[in-house]
A and B are shown apart, each in its own frame.
Chain A
Amino acid sequence: MDRLTTSQIADFNNPLAFSRPREERVGQAQIQNTDSGSPIRTDDIEASFRLVTGAAERLETLEGNLNTMLELARSARFARGDERKLQETYGKLRSLSAGFDQVVEAIRFSDQALFEGETAYLDLGSGARPIELDVAKLKTYGEDSLNLSEAEPSARASVSFRTEDRIVNETYDIVGLDIDEASYVPGANPALELENGTYKIGISYAGAGSSVEIRTPEGAVVERKENVDLSGSGREWVDFDSGVRLSFEKENFFSFFDKFDFETNGPAELTATLTYERVEGHVLRTGEASPEDSVNIPFSPVLSDASGSLTVSDPRIAPVDVTRQALESGFYTLDIEYQGENSIARLTDSLGRLKAFDFAIDLSGEGSTQLDLGVGLSLSINKDQFSTEGASLTVPIDYQRQTPPIEDFDFREYANRIEEAITIVQEQRGIIDDASERIQEVNQLRNSASTSGLPSVGALNASGALSILSGEGANSLFSPASSSARLDTLSNQLFSATTALPVQANQSPQELASLQNTAATNSWLGNFA
């Protein structure tokens, strides 16, 4: 594989790159996979021979692909400290392993994938027991697989404004509000996950008391979020329980009203189109998966005075502002200095380094105030009659983020796994070769016992070996590029083989005459008559 450019490396390492379509809701996949259907059975000895011949060819390709991956994984040893090179190698391994799965998926018999870990029954004709072929599961992900990748539920979500949205939105002269992206949030309620398709986003803009809802194209409300603060400037994220996060960009240009004069004219009813596609992420990971994102306050201190108290609650992982650096996993300390409408929050790490701050928190009112520091952490500050200015509340925070798999990827361990996978593929090749020999033995025995002497029973015909295992149509990374490439391969084979003509020069004079007759009947035989 050629050297990748920086943008290619970014594309190859995009979490959604090489993802596969997913039909089931999150968590439903395993229930579906246990329903394996009926095993593969061939109808006659010739189909059995074609199946094993085609499978042997494919396994050789797969072993070659694994060897390429092994070389790559080993080459990472010489790239220690070279972050770009490591990212490039990781991206290539992702690409190759995803291509490997495409090839395995494309090896099918009667529209059933062959290498799925099920026993296949190869018919040997009457008088012989069928061969029970123990086929391994050769996918890189899933249970009892080659264990070279993991499948993680994910989704592609995007927002667009179609003509009908534009027409509706232009009736309101709203300025300074935009949905700049939609994304999938892991850990949402799987039962509520959206189906694949398009939806409408309805925004009822009323400043800090806006609401946002997802509707089906027919208008039925799927989920609604009330009291979304779309006032002022900055960014606002709305997380739906169905697993969709919408990111609003807001900018207040006017002094008379905020974006739209909803107090005079009523709420502005805006729409956008959401496209949702369930996918399964293709993840290469060594070792255990890092823990899920979590944030908690180990103990909740209370700042009290004679009249009331100040506490914090509901710590949450929040989206990171584009201009800020995300917090790393670790222990942090949040200091809240009460100064009424100009209260101050400072977040420091375990070494005392300032990580985030907010110098203008309005705590003058009673009740709960949302604090989002823009670095991936938000929480609520609860004030109950507290009034002592200058007093500070110190809150410990345990903040854990899931690290991207590439950060702790062990190329040496992955190379070991590839070696194990190569062994499995080699074992499969042995099993397939044994089956092929057995089929040919049975056929020879039958032919030697035959007294008919008909030439058609002499040799098994593996014609269509590849088409019977319909991998040829797969648009995989490994399938031969073109018929020219195949002609080149054939040319090499023809001139390196000791026996070539008997492969194809088996037309009887009668068969040729029949073909010539067809040609003559249709008057295009011409020069060949």
Chain B
Amino acid sequence: MPHDPYSKSAGQSRVAAARRLLEVYAIGTRAALHRQPEGVRHTLALLRKSLDPSQAPDIALSLEAIYNDIEAALEAERYEEVARLFEELRGLWLARINFEDLQQ
């Protein structure tokens, strides 16, 4: 229903949330490429804080495991791996967002 103002608002909210998520990953990638551990930690902290497993526990657990990998790579100063993981996560979410757009 294109004229339903609630639906339109909800859609805009979803798009805005998706954009913010993609930007968080992009900032994480950039921080890793600039070898800024504090930036990577800040990004990870925000991602973990905003993780809501009650929606889909399996996805939340997988994401948490990958964030642990990123943290381990950061501790070992493997910044390229950190950047790659952020970029791959961003790519997966982008694909999922496009997939949802197609379904709508």
The residues of A with any CB-CB pair to B shorter than 8 Å are 53-54, 56-57, 440, 459-467, 472, 480, 483, 486-487, 489-491, 493-495, 497, 499-507, 509, 511-512, 515-516, 518-519, 522, 524-528
Contacts of A487 in B (CB 8 A): 66, 85, 88-89, 92
Listed by A's residue number, 12 A-B pairs whose Cβ atoms lie within 8 Å are: A459-B55, A463-B64, A465-B53, A467-B68, A490-B66, A493-B58, A494-B96, A501-B100, A507-B46, A512-B46, A515-B42, A525-B30
Q: Are A515 and B54 in contact (CB under 8 A)?
A: no
Q: Is the CB of A525 within 8 A of B27?
A: yes
On whether the beta carbons of B59 and A490 are closer than 8 Å, the reply is yes
What is the bound-complex CA distance between A512 and B27, given in angstroms?
Answer: 10
Which residues of B have CB within 8 Å of A57? 57-58, 61
Measured in the bound complex, the distance between the Cα atoms of B52 and A459 in whole Å is: 7
Asked if B77 is an interface residue, CB under 8 A from chain A, the answer is: no
Secondary structure call for the A interface: helix
Contact A519 B30 (CB under 8 A): yes
Task: Give the distance in Å from the alpha carbon of A483 to the alpha carbon of B20 in the complex.
Answer: 24
A465: B residues at CB distance < 8 A: 53, 57, 60-61, 64
Given A464-B64, A519-B30, 17 additional A-B pairs, CB 8 A: A53-B60, A57-B61, A459-B55, A462-B51, A462-B64, A480-B65, A483-B81, A483-B85, A486-B65, A486-B69, A503-B52, A504-B59, A504-B63, A511-B50, A518-B42, A519-B31, A528-B23
In the complex, chain B residues 72-104 whose Cβ is within 8 Å of any chain A Cβ = 81, 85, 88-89, 92-93, 95-97, 99-100
A506 touches B17 (CB 8 A): yes
| Interface contact A511-B46, CB-CB below 8 Å | yes
Asked whether A528 lies within 8 Å of B27 as measured between CB atoms, the reply is yes
The complex places the Cα of A493 from the Cα of B64 at a distance, in Å, of 14
Q: Choose from A54, A440, A464, A499 the contact partner of B55 (Cβ within 8 Å).
A: A499
**Residue B62, interface by CB 8 Å:** yes
B39 near A503 with CB under 8 A, answer: no
B47 contacts which chain A residues (CB < 8 A)? 504
Cα–Cα, bound, A461→B54 (Å): 8
Cβ contact within 8 Å between B56 and A497: yes
Closest Cβ–Cβ distance, residue B40 to chain A (whole Å)? 11
Least Cβ–Cβ distance between A57 and chain B, in angstroms? 5
Which of A53, A489, A511, A518 contacts B62, CB < 8 Å?
Answer: A489
Q: Are A461 and B42 in contact (CB under 8 A)?
A: no
Cα(A189)–Cα(B51), bound, Å: 57
| B-side interface size class | 35 or more
B95 CB to closest chain A CB (Å) equals 8
> A30 CB to closest chain B CB, in angstroms?
36
A504 x B93 contact (CB < 8 A): yes
Within B6-31, the residues touching A (CB, 8 Å) are: 14, 16-18, 20-21, 23-24, 26-27, 30-31
Give, as a whole number of angstroms, the nearest-CB distance from A206 to chain B. Answer: 58
Q: Do B60 and A524 touch across chains, with their CB atoms under 8 A apart?
A: no
In the complex, the answer to whether B49 meets A528 with C-beta atoms within 8 Å is no
Chain A residues near B46: list those with CB within 8 A.
507, 511-512, 515
- Interface contact A528-B30, CB-CB below 8 Å: yes
Given contacts A491-B92, A503-B56, A507-B20, whether A524 and B36 have CB atoms under 8 Å apart is yes
Q: Report Cα–Cα, A54/B53, bound state, in Å.
A: 11
Q: Give the chain B neighbours of A511 by CB distance below 8 A.
A: 46, 49-50
**Smallest beta-carbon distance A462→chain B, Å:** 4
Query: For residue A461, which residues in chain B have a CB less than 8 angstroms away from its CB?
Result: 49, 51-53
Q: What CA separation (Å) do A507 and B62 show in the bound complex?
A: 19
CB pair B24 A515 closer than 8 Å: yes
Is B62 in contact with A522, judged by CB distance below 8 angstroms? no
> Contact between A466 and B64 (Cβ–Cβ < 8 Å)?
yes
Cα(A493)–Cα(B61), bound, Å? 11
Bound-state Cα–Cα, A463 to B68, Å: 11
Report yes or no: A507 in contact with B63, Cβ–Cβ below 8 A.
no
Cβ of B65 and Cβ of A472 under 8 Å apart?
Answer: yes
Q: What residues on B are CB-neighbors of A459 within 8 Å?
A: 52, 54-55
Q: Shortest beta-carbon distance, B82 to chain A, in Å?
A: 10
